[in-house]
Amino acid sequence: MQRQRTIDLNADLGEGFGPYRIGDDLALLDIVTSANVACGFHAGEPAIMFATFQAAKARGVAIGAHPGFEDRAHFGRRPLPLSPHEIEQIVAYQVGAACGMAALAGHRITYVKVHGALSNIASVEEPVARAIAKAIRAVDPSLVCLSLAGTAGERGARAEGLISAAEVFADRAYNPDGTLVARGLPGAVLDDAATIAARVLAMLEQGGVIATDGTFVPLSMDSICVHGDTPHAVGIVARLRQALAEAGHQLAAFAPVTP
Amino acid sequence: MQRQRTIDLNADLGEGFGPYRIGDDLALLDIVTSANVACGFHAGEPAIMFATFQAAKARGVAIGAHPGFEDRAHFGRRPLPLSPHEIEQIVAYQVGAACGMAALAGHRITYVKVHGALSNIASVEEPVARAIAKAIRAVDPSLVCLSLAGTAGERGARAEGLISAAEVFADRAYNPDGTLVARGLPGAVLDDAATIAARVLAMLEQGGVIATDGTFVPLSMDSICVHGDTPHAVGIVARLRQALAEAGHQLAAFAPVTP
Amino acid sequence: MQRQRTIDLNADLGEGFGPYRIGDDLALLDIVTSANVACGFHAGEPAIMFATFQAAKARGVAIGAHPGFEDRAHFGRRPLPLSPHEIEQIVAYQVGAACGMAALAGHRITYVKVHGALSNIASVEEPVARAIAKAIRAVDPSLVCLSLAGTAGERGARAEGLISAAEVFADRAYNPDGTLVARGLPGAVLDDAATIAARVLAMLEQGGVIATDGTFVPLSMDSICVHGDTPHAVGIVARLRQALAEAGHQLAAFAPVTP
Amino acid sequence: MQRQRTIDLNADLGEGFGPYRIGDDLALLDIVTSANVACGFHAGEPAIMFATFQAAKARGVAIGAHPGFEDRAHFGRRPLPLSPHEIEQIVAYQVGAACGMAALAGHRITYVKVHGALSNIASVEEPVARAIAKAIRAVDPSLVCLSLAGTAGERGARAEGLISAAEVFADRAYNPDGTLVARGLPGAVLDDAATIAARVLAMLEQGGVIATDGTFVPLSMDSICVHGDTPHAVGIVARLRQALAEAGHQLAAFAPVTP
């Protein structure tokens, strides 16, 4: 018996800058149900945000603000020495900017997912997770906070009274404690479309992930995070979507625009 | 007989960056009724925006977003080659960011005034003025657009259905066509507190300015723009406020926060 | 009878930033004899400059500083309102930075070619061309200035006493006055490898280009500018190099490192 | 008997950006003998570098490159997560840029002193100090490396074969191990002109500093670091210079331009 019939696929999008692009945003927008859009700090900029929001709107894809550290040169992947209070401010700024830009593009931000090093920190430091949640709540308390399942990110969002949604990764191996196997380690990143599809189906059926040591780790799963930075990656996601549909799962945004 | 008993004083504030400050923001916030706060493109940044919004809130001062070109090195004072569509996007981004940050600080943005070269262009190019107005309307149609009295900025805002407010400068000489005398020219900038106070009182009484050639130029006046980048400048503004009060004018924000 | 037996191929390289890349730098470095390397203003950054200089050194490819306007968001392709004096300063800064970084990578900058909008302006405004040349001469008077053949860029460099080298474009159509046909116009950019190779061979034989109206425009040609931003583009350059070799032309840097 | 009759006063200068200034650069340039000039990463920019180098040249003041982390928002005062190899690159870039700009201004960089958090790290991590020294040596092996006396900065510079110069602070208290008392602690920063002048004279006479516990810490002293970010601070430096002169010390750059 399947535990879940409706699921969301989310991906990071709009991560270009000026003349640069990462991945094929339009191809991904045809597959995913939620788009996490960079807000001009770690990547993205007004023009790309606008175009991405418009394209998402045209495809009925939900949009989330995807704030990060202000560090284009390292794509927001390095931890910067900011206090929780400063993090609160950069999140409020970026979420506000995304809401403004979405309005201009005729769409609406319905959730927030933090990026890169900021996400890594929020996953383990609850004061940071709460700072992020406070900023989101101040800008718009109806925004859903999308966090890595089972982490401080989830707890922080709930502690601040936000609606929290949990994501798991389609293509990453998990440790027995529910954290991700570090990227450098062997087997940390899955790369085979069939394996990934089968794994995600199993995760949905069982309501958790199988860790590297065989342990079952129960995790809530409102969304599955996918990546699309290479043509190969887009193919994996397309295959996953097809497998989900064939298995009877309905693909739908976890935070849809409501009237 | 005086034409107006209530008037607003607005000033550009929060224009520091990192370790840098321009003017004495707190001193000015004790005098003005509306604060135009830089949004991180030509000046300002999340931390300074937050602090300025909080200080304005504490003093009952209304706050406006003050978006500009992304050019800290020239303080947004140089015209950059952006299309009206691109200007729409940078304005939506900055106004959204300001709204988000204001919410975090417990205050609310009630108006928008564009900065520097962007303001100069909007004053003479109606397509740009309309692009700015479209962006503002998209983010929040209740935001008032503060423009230089009698310019394309005012017309563009109205044409897009925004509430428009007009400002005049306390310390600048006017040409017979209602434009400002260029800064470089002799007498363009007034510097004597008594002269400035007397001039503003006369402008309010007469409902317009006396141009350099003695012509009377009728102008609507919802706000008087003042400057505070030097201790001397702050003194001039304090004197002006006192003169206004003594003449029976009530100082109040043109776009107050309403419940 | 062939007019020239030795010729240089130059290309813009190192134009990535942070996580972003443009073109296949290593593939191009295996083909060209001179690499114009972005200096961190319109593109590039210390890490990419270092890696590109090292890779060029390993392949015996000459390196030039490729300074541009400080505008990553538009890749230095928009004219910014800088005075000749300010242009002098940004060129001196970037050329100096490139020389420092080249030294760290064990290589040496031997020439300078300005980028994008800065190049366009220098091609028609001799005061700007001279400002650029003054900056180059101040940093190192032995640096060669590579300019578009027949333009103010060439004249400005010579007027300031610099060694000037001239380039023509392999893949662009020319107007009868020796300027490039604007990109938007039909036939402005050539895209067929065989056509481009034949055209360049003819240009070298005849010492000039055939304009769109059939006119012959004599031009000095120290280098041929090629592009490599797509796999297809790299293929065109490889084919051109082969055609040049087969026709007996020797490929060599116009500004080699001398002991 | 006095140990030293010639001494240098150095100060950080050219730390403005765009419309912003820190301290009175011209007033300080009339007092110090060496100017550490920001290179556009933590502060400064081409125009300010040029103006500062010209003003230093006119006054016979030696100039040093003052590279820092690329973090204007925090003035280079926060440690950023860069590897020694990356630090090597940003130092080579900045020192090269400073050399280029100095040449344009008709002056010459003769030394390097790293800034803020980069200096703090180099003072305790010898691999970082050596990375900095390698970069300096690659750009110009005749450049002197100015470091905090008795720290890893000094050792790293010497280990890489650079000429090393040591500085002490005029206005800071020292711990018994020769490190500075942290800024937050009581008495860490001296603020009285007469006390500072007397203290520096004693340091020069004794060849070291008296630590907070009364211990004498012998330190080499090629230069005394002073600050000028307030009018009061400039007054302290002027008083110090006068006291040094009256005590028979000759003020002279530790790294003068030699023909």
Question: Does residue C27 surpass a pLDDT of 90?
Answer: yes
CA distances D149 to A177, D146, D153, D187, D224, Å, are: 48, 9, 8, 20, 10
Residue C229's pLDDT is what? 83
Q: How far apart are CA B181 and CA B113, in angstroms?
A: 20
Residue B241 main-chain phi, psi, to 5 deg: -60, -45
Is 0.90 exceeded by the ipTM? yes
Q: How far apart are CA B90 and CA B132, in angstroms?
A: 9
> Residues of D with CB below 8 A from A70's CB?
73
Mean pLDDT of the region A65-91: 98
CA distances C212 to C185, C188, C209, Å, are: 12, 9, 9
pLDDT tens sequence across B97-141: 999 999 999 999 999 999 999 999 999 999 999 999 999 999 999
Q: Which two tokens stand for residue A19?
A: 């003349």
Question: Does residue D4 surpass a pLDDT of 70?
Answer: no
Contact C107, C53 (CB under 8 A): yes
Q: Across the interface, do D79 and A78 touch by the CB < 8 Å criterion?
A: no
Question: Does residue C3 surpass a pLDDT of 80?
Answer: no
Can you spell out the DSSP letters for chain C? --S-SEEEEEEEE---BTTB--S-HHHHHTT-SEEEEE-SSSS--HHHHHHHHHHHHHTT-EEEEE---S-GGGTT-S-----HHHHHHHHHHHHHHHHHHHHHTT--EEEE---HHHHHHHHH-HHHHHHHHHHHHHH-TT-EEEEETTSHHHHHHHHTT-EEEEEEESSB-B-TTSPBPPTTSTTSB---HHHHHHHHHHHHHHTEEE-TTS-EEE---SEEEE--SSHHHHHHHHHHHHHHHHTTPEE--SS----
pLDDT tens sequence across D152-184: 999 999 999 999 999 999 999 999 988 889 888
Residue C205 main-chain phi, psi, to 5 deg: -65, -40
Residue B2's pLDDT is what? 45
pLDDT band at C2 (very low <50, low <70, confident <90, very high): very low
CA distances D187 to D170, D171, D200, D215, D217, Å, are: 13, 10, 16, 16, 18
For residue A18, give the nearest of C19, C45, C73 by CB distance: C73
> Residues of A with CB below 8 A from C231's CB?
none
Residue B179's pLDDT is what? 85
Contact D73, B17 (CB under 8 A): yes
Q: How far is D176 from chain A (nearest CA, A)?
A: 29
Q: Across the interface, do A19 and C45 touch by the CB < 8 Å criterion?
A: no
Query: What's the mean per-residue pLDDT of chain B?
Result: 95
> Residues of B with CB below 8 A from C70's CB?
73
For residue C18, give the nearest of A19, A21, A73 by CB distance: A73
Q: What percent of chain D has pLDDT over 90?
A: 91
pLDDT tens sequence across C221-244: 999 999 988 888 899 999 999 999
For B108, the closest chain A residue by CA position comes to A139
Burial of A246 (0-12, 13-18, 19+ CB in 10 A): exposed
Residue that the structure tokens 């005849």 belong to: C206
Q: What percent of chain B has pLDDT over 70?
A: 98
Question: Does residue D1 surpass a pLDDT of 70?
Answer: no
pLDDT band at D231 (very low <50, low <70, confident <90, very high): confident
* Residues in Cβ contact with B153 at an 8 Å cutoff, skipping those fewer than 6 apart: B114, B119, B122, B123, B129, B132, B145, B147
* Nearest alpha-carbon partner for A95 in A156, A54, A145: A145
pLDDT tens sequence across A137-158: 999 999 999 999 999 999 999 9
Q: Which two tokens stand for residue A211?
A: 């860790």
Residue A1's pLDDT is what? 39
Residue A2's pLDDT is what? 45
User: Strand, coil or helix: what is A125?
Assistant: coil
Residue D179's pLDDT is what? 85
pLDDT tens sequence across A9-40: 999 999 999 999 999 999 999 999 999 999 99
DSSP assignment letter at A180: B
Residue B137's pLDDT is what? 98
Q: Is C72 on the interface with A (CB under 8 A)?
A: yes
- The chains in contact with chain D, meaning 3 or more Cβ pairs closer than 8 Å, are A, B, C
Q: Is C21 on the interface with B (CB under 8 A)?
A: no
Q: What angle do CA B162, B50, B12 make, to 5 degrees?
A: 55
> Residues of B with CB below 8 A from A17's CB?
none
Q: How far is A81 from chain B (nearest CA, A)?
A: 14
Q: How far is C112 from chain A (nearest CA, A)?
A: 23
> Residues of A with CB below 8 A from D79's CB?
81
Torsion sign across C-alpha atoms C153, C156, C158, C161: negative
pLDDT tens sequence across A149-191: 999 999 999 999 999 999 999 999 999 988 889 888 999 999 9
Q: Which stretches in chain B have pLDDT values below 70?
A: 1-4
Mean pLDDT of the region D235-247: 96
Question: Does residue C218 surpass a pLDDT of 90?
Answer: yes
Question: Does residue D259 surpass a pLDDT of 80?
Answer: no
Q: What angle do CA B169, B172, B177 make, to 5 degrees?
A: 85
Q: Which of residues 160-219 of B touch C (CB under 8 A)?
A: none
Q: How far apart are CA C253 and CA C52, in angstroms?
A: 17
Residue that the structure tokens 């090093």 belong to: A117
Query: What's the mean per-residue pLDDT of chain C?
Result: 95
Q: What percent of chain C has pLDDT over 70?
A: 98
Residue C1's pLDDT is what? 39
Mean pLDDT of the region A106-117: 98
Burial of B22 (0-12, 13-18, 19+ CB in 10 A): buried
For A79, the closest chain D residue by CA position comes to D81
pLDDT tens sequence across D32-77: 999 999 999 999 999 999 999 999 999 999 999 999 999 999 999 9
Q: How far apart are CA A102 and CA B213, in angstroms?
A: 48
Residue C227's pLDDT is what? 92
More confident residue, C142 or A258: C142
User: Strand, coil or helix: what is A226?
Assistant: strand
Q: How far apart are CA B157 and CA B166, in angstroms?
A: 11
CB pairs under 8 A between A and C: 31
pLDDT tens sequence across C81-118: 999 999 999 999 999 999 999 999 999 999 999 999 99
pLDDT tens sequence across C50-82: 999 999 999 999 999 999 999 999 999 999 999
Q: Which of residues 79-98 of A touch D (CB under 8 A)?
A: 79-81
